[in-house]
Amino acid sequence: MPTCGRPAFFLRRVLTCLYNAAPRIKQRPQPSPGGADSLACAIAPGDEAALRFATNRGFRIDYEMLDSELDLTGFDLAHWESAVSAAETHGIRFTTLLQAQDEHDLLQNLYELDRHLSQDVSDWSGVMPPLEEYKTSLAECDPEAVFIAWAEGRPVGYSMTGADGYTHFMGVARAFRGRGIALALKVLTIRWALSKGIACLSTNNNAANAAILGLNRKLGYTSRLGTIYLVKDVVGVRTILREVAKTTLSLALFVGLYVWWQGWWYGAGMGAIILLHELGHMVAGRMRGVSLSSPLFIPFIGACCPCSRWTVGA
């Protein structure tokens, strides 16, 4: 095979085939109404070739994740223990999942809290797993490594860490933020990790989540760029037809009025010039990460390409 000695070239060919097939896959019947409206991919940091491959095909960076680690060797737990008592002065009670087993509707309340907290997660699909599936996943965790913050008789925050020291999730309900709950949950997790002989805690966070990243730095976490997530809008047939109809009808009205006013040559020429001008805006905009819809013509004024999406710094 001629590509055997050129793995990078072969990989690009495979990725290109998969990418080209994506629109056809998208057009197949989908389980959800309307089907998919975007393509997404994830790229490891430093993989410039993959990033270039994706951006050259219209993908844009949606968000970036930071991987953070805390070396527990020599960690001064006594210095941070007061964070738990400080939160308790605000009426917050802390338990592990094991200690809270007898709480009324515990799993249902945690499920509803998770739904509330998931709205702040950048890549949340908007769909929660079924309650039974959630209960199963929670049952697989070490109940002593799941810490729950309680207030007003219900859970208002919790953290979940695996036996390997990786914190899978931590969050606090919006109405109870600013009371030191997140810091207390972190300290409780560190105390548990030290008792289990875990030498390092790790987690990842959205690079835009300044609050939790600042808290992690305060505790001594070090961060580095993790996965880069990109997304590209997929235009369906209905959207294309709608855009074509919008431009065609508004252009016809635009040209028709100018023809009535000044004659065919003037009307057709004016329409063609403005159409080419607006198409130039569309091309230039998309080169800079700005997604513009097709031109909308406004008689005796001109035309515009409404902005449907843009990227930071575009």
Residue 158 in this model has a pLDDT that exceeds 50: yes
Look at residue 47 and tell me whether its pLDDT is greater than 90.
Answer: no
Tell me what pLDDT residue 35 has: 52
Ordered by start, the domain boundaries in the chain are: 74-198, 237-309
Hey, what long-range contacts does 35-39 have (CB within 8 A, 24 or more apart)? 35/236, 36/234, 37/233, 37/234, 37/236, 38/231, 38/232, 38/233, 38/234, 39/231, 39/232, 39/234
In this prediction, residue 26 has a pLDDT band, given cuts at 50, 70 and 90, of very low
| Average pLDDT of the residues in 204-222 | 92
Q: Please state the rounded mean pLDDT for residues 201-225.
A: 93
Share of the chain above pLDDT 70, in %: 82
Report pTM: 0.67
Q: Which CATH number fits domain 74-198: 1.20.1600.10, 3.40.630.30, 3.20.10.10, 3.40.50.11740?
A: 3.40.630.30
- Confidence (pLDDT) at 39: 81
The mean pLDDT value for 96-122 works out to: 86
| Mean pLDDT score of the chain | 83
Q: For residue 224, what are the contacts with CB-CB under 8 A and spacing of at least 6? A: 45, 66, 67
Give the count of beta carbons closer than 10 Å to the beta carbon of residue 93: 13
Which pLDDT tens digit goes with each residue over 239-269?
778 888 999 999 999 999 999 999 999 999 9
* CA–CA distance, 278 with 72 (Å, rounded to integer): 58
Would you say residue 231 has pLDDT above 50?
yes
Average pLDDT rounded to a whole number, residues 131-159 = 89
Buried b (16+ CB within 10 A) or exposed e, 230-257: bbbebebeeeeeeeeebbeebbeebbee
CB contact at 8 A, 207 and 123: no
